[in-house]
Amino acid sequence: MSIAATVNTGAAAAKPVLNVAMVGHAFMGRAHGNAFRQVNHFFDLPFHVVPAVIVGRDPERAAAAAHKLGFAESTTDLKATLARQDIHLVDVATPNDSHCAIALQALAAGKHVLCEKPLAMTVDEAKSMVAAAKKKKVRVGLWHNYRRAPATRLAAQMIARGDLGEVRQVRAVYLQDWLADASVPASWRTSRKTCGSGAHGDLNAHLIDLTRALTGLEFDSVIGVQQTFTKERPDGAGGTAKVDVDDALCFLAKFKNGAVGTYEATRVAPGRKNFNCIEISGSKGSLRWNLERMNELEVFLFADPRDGQGFRTIMCMDSVHPYAANWWPDGHIVGYEHTFVHHVADFVAALASGEPFAPDFQDGLAVQGVLAAVLESVKAGAWVKVRR
Ligand code: SOE
Question: pLDDT per residue over 291-349, tens digit each?
Answer: 999 999 999 999 999 998 999 999 999 999 999 999 999 999 999 999 999 999 999 99
The CB of 176 under 6 Å from ligand 1? The reply is yes
The CB of 27 under 6 Å from ligand 1? The reply is yes
Task: Please calculate the CA angle 161-165-171 and round it to the nearest 5 degrees.
Answer: 105
Please state, rounded to an integer, the average pLDDT across all residues of the chain.
96
- What pLDDT sits at residue 13? 64
Residues 181-185 have a mean pLDDT of 97
279, exposed or middle or buried, with CB in 10 Å at 0-12, 13-18, 19+?
Answer: middle
Closest CA to ligand 1's atom 1: 202
Residue 107 has pLDDT above 60, yes or no: yes
* pTM, to two decimals: 0.96
Ligand 1 atom closest to the Cα of residue 28 is 4
Ligand 1 atom closest to the Cα of residue 205 is 8
Q: How confident is the model at residue 373 (pLDDT cuts 50, 70, 90)?
A: very high
Closest CA to ligand 1's atom 2: 202
Residues 235-245 have a mean pLDDT of 97
Domain boundaries, the chain: 17-145, 148-334+360-385
Q: What is the CATH number of domain 17-145?
A: 3.40.50.720
Closest CA to ligand 1's atom 12: 274
Ligand 1 centroid–CA 197 distance in Å is 13
Q: Whose CA is closest to 375, among 286, 249, 291, 203? A: 249
- What pLDDT sits at residue 264? 98
Q: How confident is the model at residue 155 (pLDDT cuts 50, 70, 90)?
A: very high
- What pLDDT sits at residue 137? 81
Please, are residues 347 and 139 in contact by the beta-carbon 8 Å criterion? Answer: yes
Closest CA to ligand 1's atom 7: 202
Phi-psi region of 186 (alpha: psi -120 to 50; beta: other; left: phi over 0): beta
What kind of architecture, by CATH, is found in domain 148-334+360-385? Answer: 2-Layer Sandwich (3.30)
What is the distance between the alpha carbons of residues 317 and 296, in angstroms, rounded to a whole number?
A: 8
Ligand 1 centroid–CA 199 distance in Å is 9
Q: How confident is the model at residue 1 (pLDDT cuts 50, 70, 90)?
A: very low
Listed in sequence order, the residues at least 6 apart from 4 whose beta carbon sits closer than 8 Å to its beta carbon are 17
Residues 225-244 have a mean pLDDT of 97
Please, are residues 123 and 368 in contact by the beta-carbon 8 Å criterion? Answer: yes
- What pLDDT sits at residue 14? 80
Half-sphere exposure at residue 131, Cβ-oriented, CA atoms within 13 angstroms: 7
Q: Whose CA is closest to 114, among 349, 323, 344, 363? A: 344
Neighbours of 372 (CB within 10 A): 22
